[in-house]
Amino acid sequence: MKTSNLGYPRIGSNREWKRALEAFWKRELTEASFLQQMEQIRLANLQKQKDMGIDIIPVNDFTLYDHMLDMAVMFGLVPKRFEAAKNPISLYFGMARGKQEAVACEMTKWFNTNYHYIVPEWEDRTPRLVENKPLTAYKEAKEKLGIEGKPVIVGPVTFIKCAKGYLPEQEDTLLSQLVPLYCRILQELEQAGAQWIQIDEPIFVTSLSEEELTASKKIYEQFHKASSGLNIMLQTYFESAEHYKEIIQFPVQGIGLDFVHGEKTLDEMRMHGFPEDKVLGAGILDGRNIWRANLSQKQELILQLEELAASERIWIQPSCSLLHVPVSAKHEHSLPQELYNSLAFADEKLEELRLLSSPSQQEAIKKYDDALYLLNSSPARNRTEVLWEVEKAQGKDLKRNQPYMNRKQKQQEVWNLPLLPTTTIGSFPQTAEVKQARGKHKRGEWTKAQYDQFVKNQIEKWIKIQEDIGLDVLVHGEFERTDMVEFFGQKLNGFAFLENGWVQSYGSRCVKPPVIYGDVDFSEPMTVNESVYAQSLTDKPVKGMLTGPVTILNWSFVRDDISRENVCYQIANALQKEVLALESAGITMIQVDEPALREGLPLKKSKWQHYIDWSVNCFLLTTCAVKETTQIHTHMCYCDFNEFLGVISKLDADVISLETSRSHGELVSAFTWQSYEKGIGLGVYDIHSPRIPEIEEMRVMIEKTLEVLHEDQMWVNPDCGLKTRNISETIQSLKNMTAAAALVRKKEAVS
């Protein structure tokens, strides 16, 4: 048996990667020293895996921003609007982050994760091989560290399915253009002496048509013909392979399967066998979560696998790239006692692989199994009063006391909003000053009172700014929050938080997902003070602002001893108390964000309905107990909503804001074939880019939307929160946005 890894976190154990990138963008680092720092991080990551004794080490999993963007650039798929870029680096980051003269490429969720990739755009061009990046990475590891690496690339079927800018009927042509380029990559690797390549095809865990499957097999036959000396590990993850029987017959030398998130994987293998001549990449450790595995159970699993495949042809590995977990648990020093020996981040998972693959490790294995036993018997996990309360709450009729149309009228009487009301999504710039203030409070240099006063000053400043800009519905700005999920985790019971548990979310941006380890319940109001304070400063409505239950669930590391559905109901039950606390404090416009609701949708269609049922119910449990005059808002971003409007409607929120600007036309066209009656704001500008949108382009966007939506259901807002932008970008962009709304309003009033 061998140990293998599918990908290692890029960010470095102290987020060195993030810091280097951001310093470079701010021109505090020259290109040469930036690239040198990146090389150092890349090599250190590889050396670490070598030192940990991993047999098969991935290379080319590292990137300067995103691995899908790397693939697009490698194939010369550069949208025309970026062609003027002066050098390859500014072209690359231009595509990722946008330029004043060109909007950034779209960014979207990588399957069902909180990682976002840059969507390749085809634009009628013929791909070409600009640089064999896997080869460069292979040679670097070999020459500099003596590592015989396994280059990783995204496979052609997944790459095309995750790209845009072509018609469905063009897919075959595009594939036939791409395949020869992949073949060249493989041949050059073979010539350089590479033994293995890992070709990631997570798309194979979703349903493909029979034709697509046949076409996929043909592609792999061509790969085999082109480079018969290079071994291909065809890697699937995040679920069981949908077409197991067919895929194991592909002419490749190894098949990588997910035994953690693919509940059916082992059964499929038992039923259909596993080819004797292939290597089994057995993904047995959870690459998406941070709990130590029950190693004796994993030993049993390995024994079962050895009955189905020869031991020397098994690689044990994480279920997916370790990109989705933090680097190392050894930096955590303030956890509840029962968590200390039960956490496994990337490094600990590699250590688990070593324990499982070497003989006579029973003592260490017992130590960790005992820790898991201790965790499961912790009082925090066994709070019967929480279980009873949640059961009771779930049993109630989860719906608003009046239908939408009645609410709408009554709410308009209360708020008297103008046509096309303008608002923002919640957060304002988390400037260095804001982060430093939190740092001072955390280190004890500032008292709580000093910090609270700082937050109040920020709120006051931004209420004034919003009034000056002329926005109709204001927000307090979320200055008290590190992150929209971490913040609630810190205030609810049942959560633990990490000091250094950073995971990349997109580009240089990282999150520190809280850890849900116990039963969740409400302890005290979490957002009331700030909202009430903000409302006291203005006559305009200020929206209360909280994160919804499904998003808290999906962006946390969740205990795996009870179902996610159960945990979500616990969170929803706790959040309902917050909503009611806001309402009784006089905050009667309340936004409950659910940006991760769509991302949590299972990859397999057969599981959708169940997920939709409970996630919608959890949102309703959180929001439905308010009066008819209380206006519930929600917000979603980073995904394709075209097929999701039915679900969105079931949430029964009075107003929803959706991110759309990077793919505006596509969403707008979705409203031509399905109807949506409630309040809705389609984001009119991209907030991920430092670029300031022009009045005119937003005016056009609003008018386009008016072709498919009714003027008195429409709101005007940016795509998402503004925490990643700086102050002047934010003010200038919002001024332009309100000016654009005013122009359209004027025109509507005349017509």
Footprint of ligand 39S (CB under 6 A): 114, 430, 435-436, 438-439, 482-485, 505-506, 509-512, 555, 595, 638, 723-724
Binding-site residues: 15-18, 109, 114, 425-427, 478, 509-510, 555, 593, 599, 635, 637, 659, 720
Q: Which is nearer to ligand 39S, 18 or 745 (CB)?
A: 18
Chosen from Zn ion, ligand 39S, ligand MET, none, partner binding at 426 (C-beta under 5 to 8 Å by type): ligand MET
Cα torsion 519, 523, 527, 529 to 10°: value is: -170
Which one among 356, 520, 545, 582 touches ligand MET, defined by CB under 6 A?
A: 545
Q: Which is nearer to ligand 39S, 597 or 620 (CB)?
A: 597
Q: Which is nearer to ligand 39S, 115 or 166 (CB)?
A: 115
Binding string to ligand MET for residues 598 to 637, with x set by CB under 6 A, is what? -------------------------------------x-x
CB 81 to ligand MET: min, Å: 26
Name the token pair of 567: 């945990």
- The C-alpha atoms of residue 59 and residue 606 are separated, in whole angstroms, by 35
Kindly identify the residues of this chain, within the stretch 376-435, that bind ligand MET according to CB under 6 A: 425-427
Name the token pair of 707: 């072709």
- The C-alpha atoms of residue 156 and residue 424 are separated, in whole angstroms, by 39
3-state secondary structure 465-490: HHHHHCCCEECCECCCCCCCCHHHHH
Chosen from ligand 39S, ligand MET, Zn ion, none, partner binding at 241 (C-beta under 5 to 8 Å by type): none
* Bridge partners, 231 (sequence order): 196
- The C-alpha atoms of residue 255 and residue 237 are separated, in whole angstroms, by 11
CB 442 to ligand 39S: min, Å: 7
Task: Count Cα atoms within 13 angstroms, Cβ side, for 605.
Answer: 5
The DSSP 8-state label assigned to residue 593 in this structure reads E
Whose CB is nearest to ligand 39S? 439
Name the token pair of 690: 């430092």
Q: How many residues bind ligand MET (CB under 6 A)?
A: 13
CA 173 from centre of chain: 31
- The C-alpha atoms of residue 547 and residue 573 are separated, in whole angstroms, by 13
CB 437 to ligand MET: min, Å: 18
CB 481 to ligand MET: min, Å: 8
Could you say whether residue 721 binds ligand MET (CB under 6 A)?
A: yes
Q: Which is nearer to ligand MET, 242 or 478 (CB)?
A: 478
**Which residues, other chains included, contact 341 with Cβ-Cβ below 8 Å and sequence gap of 6+?**
292, 367, 368, 370, 371
- The C-alpha atoms of residue 130 and residue 96 are separated, in whole angstroms, by 18
* Bridge partners, 495 (sequence order): 516
Smallest CA-to-CA distance from 527 within 462, 459, 442 is with 459
Number of CB atoms found within 10 A of residue 459's CB: 24
Chosen from ligand MET, Zn ion, ligand 39S, none, partner binding at 254 (C-beta under 5 to 8 Å by type): none
Binding-site residues for Zn(2+): 635, 637, 659, 720
Binding-site residues for L-methionine: 425-427, 478, 593
Smallest CA-to-CA distance from 712 within 746, 745, 735 is with 745
Could you say whether residue 301 binds ligand MET (CB under 6 A)?
A: no
Residues that bind Zn ion (CB under 5 A): 595, 637, 720
Chosen from ligand 39S, ligand MET, Zn ion, none, partner binding at 545 (C-beta under 5 to 8 Å by type): ligand MET
Which residues are designated catalytic?
A: 688
Which one among 512, 664, 723, 725 touches ligand MET, defined by CB under 6 A?
A: 723
C-beta separation of 5 from 285 below 8 A = no
Chosen from Zn ion, ligand MET, ligand 39S, none, partner binding at 118 (C-beta under 5 to 8 Å by type): none
* Residues 442, 16, 86: CA angle, nearest 5 degrees: 130
- The C-alpha atoms of residue 36 and residue 23 are separated, in whole angstroms, by 13
Smallest CA-to-CA distance from 157 within 109, 111, 105, 220 is with 220
Q: Which is nearer to ligand MET, 10 or 481 (CB)?
A: 481
Binding string to ligand MET for residues 671 to 710, with x set by CB under 6 A, is what? ----------------------------------------
- The C-alpha atoms of residue 368 and residue 348 are separated, in whole angstroms, by 11
Q: Which is nearer to ligand 39S, 157 or 687 (CB)?
A: 687
Q: Which is nearer to Zn ion, 454 or 638 (CB)?
A: 638
Which one among 104, 293, 398, 484 touches ligand MET, defined by CB under 6 A?
A: 484
Smallest CA-to-CA distance from 421 within 540, 245, 263, 334 is with 540
- The C-alpha atoms of residue 21 and residue 38 are separated, in whole angstroms, by 9
Kindly identify the residues of this chain, within the stretch 556-595, that bind ligand MET according to CB under 6 A: 593, 595
Q: Which is nearer to ligand MET, 106 or 201 (CB)?
A: 106
Q: What are the residues binding ligand MET (CB under 6 A)?
A: 425-427, 478, 484, 545, 593, 595, 635, 637, 720-721, 723
